[in-house]
């Protein structure tokens, strides 16, 4: 008893001696863990928009490799006698090309083909002779009409066979092409393919190493795919069907890309989905970059922007015809997690090279659907999925708008349906992002939680906005609010992820690229700074008793990282003046060495999309502070992360 009294007395004495926070200080209460943070919190959202898959992340260099585009020779130029015929070995891609006499075919690639000096490229083709004994195919990597690599194949069989040839690039080529010349007996060719050997983790049907590495460097917690509007399709016939995207790559049927026509004044008539990057490859990528896969499936509705969502029509699946769509969802769970001995889809996964389950835990039904037809469809999906797979975390939708009548209505529908998470999308102005940093402070704490599934700050409106530093800074400020409310906001993914500099339909985008280069925008670095510093628990961070969400143009949040025993403070100053600050850490004393990561540039318009050095990139240095009160000046237009051992 005496001991207890003594320690109570000692604690009271310590409390009495605790240094009070200076007036106006940002007070971080180290003992007050207000929420746990989902380990998957910050992630990525991939969609085949802006040539993100075919022509982008998917490393195939040949466009229209199976001659299945409606215009069969789109992407190719021919010389001599070259005809498209219906004689393929692949039933779901039935066309091939016949070359007779001295003839040639050249493929332009996607805005040209990039070749790296000294690197090997794997050329492959399915071929057969239709008469004669032997045909020769000469392949040349071309750079402005000059050879930058060469090789020869001899075709000797009348049976369809796959032929492979390694070609080394003799120089760096920014925008090359692939030329094939034919001599000898008549041949038929199909699935003409050219891949860099150096793909991400060396997979043959692989991903561009530099682009996939940019994803890996984000250390994403979650990986949402494959869309976006892509999963809806402009019509139900052209929706994304995951079952078409698995199995032998040559036999995955072509689909149109929903983004062929969407961007104002930027039609993309050659934009198709080969599904070479399909669900197996998506799951594998998720695994290899350490992210939880979050597939999105069609809920029985084609894209509402492309149809009239106020009335029933052929864009909407009647409720009594929805079962095949629900089966797609149930089968996908088996494909990802099932036992190959017991399920055909799990057996296919094993046959494709992954007998172990992928450990699917999240599943979204529908993208950003809205209107009266959504809830009855989601209800049917949810009932069957919940009954069979009660552990799957289901994601519903709040529609495309982050506020307004329909947003409220969708949320009230979601509260009735009760998915685990509701996907919210915000493409909005810098002002909106700053004003919404406190969006979740008073959000209801009951019912489904939030997945901030698509967001980006658009300074000049859709299609006109660019990835400038100012937008990234506003995203950083907004994200302090996601982090502060990590009990309700469980996942967050910026959107869209990729854009080809010549082939975009939507901007801004997190990562830009051309045939050889990757451009990491300031928004990329903001995402990375959050992801690498996500911590495990939110700590109370207040100024004058309020969240730090805009007063004096400052935004701040703090986390504790249980894995490293670190305190991590994020502060964003969006004003054009520096701000001297007192950071008061209740419960800590003494000197600390901190790791300080800073994102800053004087140029608010900096875009980072240039072959020269990046204008904006985070810089980490070491600094000293003395606790409990650290005096800290945060310069104008800066994002600071202070990290130190507790």
**Residue 331 binding ligand AHR, by CB under 6 A:** no
Annotated catalytic residue, options 47, 368, 475, 607: 368
Of 337, 358, 391, give the one whose Cα is nearest residue 346: 337
User: Mask of contacts with ligand AHR, 364-403, x by CB under 6 A?
Assistant: ---xx-------------------------------x---
**Residue 495 binding ligand AHR, by CB under 6 A:** yes
Residue 228: asked if its preceding bond is cis (omega within 30°), the reply is yes
**Residue 506 binding ligand AHR, by CB under 6 A:** yes
Stretch that binds ligand AHR, among 170-178, 227-235, 531-539, 626-634 (CB under 6 A): 227-235
**Residue 44 binding ligand AHR, by CB under 6 A:** no
What does the DSSP 8-state code read for residue 266? -
Q: How far is the CB of 425 from ligand AHR (least distance, A)?
A: 6
Cα separation of 411 and 419, whole Å?
11
- Cβ nearer to ligand AHR, comparing 193 with 397: 397
Contacts with ligand AHR in 548-587 (CB under 6 A)?
none
**Residue 47 binding ligand AHR, by CB under 6 A:** yes
For ligand AHR, how many residues bind (rule: CB under 6 A)?
A: 13
Residue 229: asked if its preceding bond is cis (omega within 30°), the reply is no
Candidates 496, 503, 535, 628; binder of ligand AHR (CB under 6 A) is 496
Q: How far is the CB of 231 from ligand AHR (least distance, A)?
A: 8
Cα separation of 575 and 113, whole Å?
44
- Cβ nearer to ligand AHR, comparing 108 with 424: 424
- Cβ nearer to ligand AHR, comparing 262 with 573: 262
Candidates 229, 360, 556, 641; binder of ligand AHR (CB under 6 A) is 229
- Alpha-carbon separation of residue 403 from 200, 385, 432, 434, 527 (angstroms): 40, 29, 11, 15, 24
CB 253 within 8 A of CB 244: yes
- Cβ nearer to ligand AHR, comparing 50 with 573: 50
**Residue 228 binding ligand AHR, by CB under 6 A:** yes
Handedness of CA 195, 196, 201, 204 (dihedral sign): positive
Partnered with residue 586 across adjacent β-strands are: 29
CB 54 within 8 A of CB 276: yes
User: Which stretches does DSSP call E strand in 377-503?
Assistant: 393-397, 421-428, 449-457, 489-494, 498-500
The bridge status of strand 449-457 relative to strand 489-494 is: parallel
- Cβ nearer to ligand AHR, comparing 510 with 627: 510
Q: What are phi and psi of 295, to 5 degrees?
A: -70, 150
- How far is residue 172 CA from its own chain's centroid? 29
Contacts with ligand AHR in 414-443 (CB under 6 A)?
425
**Residue 227 binding ligand AHR, by CB under 6 A:** yes
**Residue 43 binding ligand AHR, by CB under 6 A:** no
What SS3 string covers 200-215? HHHCCCCEEHHHHHHH
Q: How far is the CB of 241 from ligand AHR (least distance, A)?
A: 17
Candidates 270, 331, 454, 566; binder of ligand AHR (CB under 6 A) is 454
- Clarify whether 368 is annotated catalytic: yes
**Residue 475 binding ligand AHR, by CB under 6 A:** no
Q: What residue is closest to ligand AHR based on CB?
A: 228
What SS3 string covers 331-371? HHHHHHHCCCCCCHHHHHHHHCCCCCCCCCCEEEECCCCCC
Applying CB under 6 A, the residues found at the interface with ligand AHR are 47, 49, 227-229, 367-368, 400, 425, 454, 495-496, 506
Catalytic residues: 368
């Amino acid at each position: 008893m005496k001991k207890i009294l003594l320690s109570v007395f000692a604690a009271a004495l310590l409390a009495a001696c605790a240094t009070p926070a200076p007036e106006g200080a940002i007070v971080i209460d180290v003992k007050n863990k207000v929420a746990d943070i989902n380990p998957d919190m910050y992630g990525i959202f991939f969609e085949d928009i802006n040539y993100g898959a075919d022509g982008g992340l998917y490393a195939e260099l040949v466009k229209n490799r199976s001659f299945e585009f409606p215009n069969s020779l789109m992407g190719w130029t021919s010389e001599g006698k070259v005809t498209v015929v219906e004689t393929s070995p692949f039933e779901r891609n039935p066309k091939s090309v016949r070359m007779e006499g001295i003839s040639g075919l050249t493929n332009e690639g996607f805005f040209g083909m990039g070749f790296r000096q000294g690197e090997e490229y794997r050329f492959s083709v399915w071929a057969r002779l239709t008469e004669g004994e032997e045909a020769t195919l000469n392949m040349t990597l071309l750079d402005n009409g000059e050879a930058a690599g060469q090789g020869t194949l001899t075709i000797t069989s009348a049976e369809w066979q796959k032929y492979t040839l390694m070609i080394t690039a003799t120089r760096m080529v920014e925008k090359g092409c692939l030329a094939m010349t034919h001599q000898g007996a008549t041949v038929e060719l199909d699935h003409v393919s050219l891949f860099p050997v150096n793909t991400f983790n060396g997979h043959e049907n692989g991903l561009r190493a530099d682009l996939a590495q940019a994803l890996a460097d984000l250390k994403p917690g979650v990986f949402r795919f494959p869309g976006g509007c892509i999963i809806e399709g402009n019509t139900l016939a052209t929706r994304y069907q995951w079952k078409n995207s698995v199995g032998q790559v040559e036999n995955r049927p072509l689909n149109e890309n929903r983004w062929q026509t969407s961007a104002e004044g930027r039609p993309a008539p050659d934009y198709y989905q080969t599904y070479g990057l399909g669900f197996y490859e998506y799951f594998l990528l998720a695994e290899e970059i350490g992210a939880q896969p979050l597939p999105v499936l069609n809920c029985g509705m084609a894209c509402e922007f492309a149809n009239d969502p106020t009335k029933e029509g052929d864009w909407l699946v009647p409720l009594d015809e929805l079962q095949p769509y629900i089966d797609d969802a149930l089968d996908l769970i088996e494909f990802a997690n099932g036992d190959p001995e017991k399920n055909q889809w799990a057996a296919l996964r094993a046959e494709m090279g992954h007998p172990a389950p992928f450990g699917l835990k999240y599943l979204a039904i529908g993208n950003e659907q809205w209107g009266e037809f959504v809830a009855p469809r989601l209800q049917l999906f949810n009932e069957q999925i919940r009954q069979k797979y009660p552990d799957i975390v289901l994601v519903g939708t709040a529609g495309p708008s982050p506020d307004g009548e329909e947003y409220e209505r969708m949320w009230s529908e979601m509260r009735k349906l009760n998915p685990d998470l509701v996907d919210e999308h915000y493409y909005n102005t810098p002002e909106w992002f700053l004003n919404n940093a406190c969006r979740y402070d008073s959000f209801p704490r009951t019912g489904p939680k939030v997945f901030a599934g698509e967001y980006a700050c658009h300074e000049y409106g859709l299609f006109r906005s660019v990835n400038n530093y100012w937008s990234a800074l506003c995203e950083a400020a907004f994200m302090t609010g996601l982090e502060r409310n990590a009990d309700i906001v469980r996942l967050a993914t910026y959107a869209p992820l990729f854009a080809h500099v010549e082939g975009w339909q939507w901007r801004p985008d997190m990562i830009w690229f051309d045939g050889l280069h990757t451009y990491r925008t300031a928004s990329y670095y903001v995402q990375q700074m959050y992801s690498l510093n996500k911590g495990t628990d939110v700590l109370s961070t207040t100024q004058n008793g309020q969240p730090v969400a805009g007063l004096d143009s400052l935004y701040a949040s703090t986390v504790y990282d249980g894995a490293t025993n670190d305190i991590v403070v994020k502060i964003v100053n969006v004003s054009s003046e520096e701000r001297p600050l007192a950071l008061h850490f209740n419960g800590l004393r003494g000197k600390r060495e901190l790791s300080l990561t800073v994102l800053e540039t004087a140029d608010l318009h900096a875009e980072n999309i240039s072959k020269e050095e990046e204008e904006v990139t985070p810089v980490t240095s070491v600094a000293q502070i003395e606790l409990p009160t650290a005096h800290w000046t945060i310069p104008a237009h800066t994002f600071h992360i202070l990290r130190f051992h507790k």
